[in-house]
Amino acid sequence: MLTNKTIIVTGVSSGIGQEVARQVKAAGGKVIGVDRNTPSVDVDAFHQVDLTDEAALDSLIETLKPLKADGLANIAGVPPTAPPEVVVTVNLVALKKLTLGLVDSLADNAAIVNLASLAGLGWEGEVTKIKAAADLTHSDVPAFCAEQGITKDISYFFTKQALVAWTHENRWTWRDRGIRMNAVSPGPVDTPILGDFLETLGERAEEDMRIMDRPGRPTDIAPVVTFLLSDGSVWLRGVNIACDGGMRAHIDATSNGLK
């Protein structure tokens, strides 16, 4: 499915990113991994970068451009227990900077996949804040968080809402070259940071877990990302796929008076 394709995977050292790397390799692809920690999974090349370091990110972009990669899987992220400035920087600002820095150097018909979240629900109500964040740089983030009230309680939700909106916005941005952008939105996933989510979300998370039969696993999410990186997804543009054991469907149905 990905034979002879070069795929850049961020967050490659744990959780969903690690499983995406495994599945890309199994599908015949070449994996270029990016993470702040050394991976245990097999990759073809690895770049150790802290995405909060803008200079290091600039250097990474210049290093990756010659690859003319066939895909970019933006999986790296930090949990809602991190300081809001870090959450906004890693989950949104650095992700966008990396993507926009590389897009002109990607191969024609390349695929970009953003790991969003069920937490991105309700983005339509945050358009003003999302537009205010459109051109943020690393150094802008602390002032933005202060001005827009992006506190620890909402920082993760905001970044995922903004990422879903950004994916929709770029549905046709690069279609003259066949480059597409899509997103995947997991619900709670059993990764090393699941505990951070449960701690932050409290009763809301407990209710979600009672409704679901189990939390997701990286092996539930990675096949969807891998499909979106493949040629089988060429007619999907700007979509956000809920991969959450039915949780999004439950929310949509019950909030509209269905069972």
Q: Which residues have a catalytic role annotated?
A: 156
CA distance 105 to 71: 11
* CB distance 111 to 27 below 8 Å: no
Q: Based on C-alpha coordinates, what's the Rg of the chain?
A: 17
Residue with tokens 């227990």: 81
CA distance 30 to 11: 16
CA distance 2 to 256: 40
SS3 call for 35: strand
Residue positions counted in the chain: 259
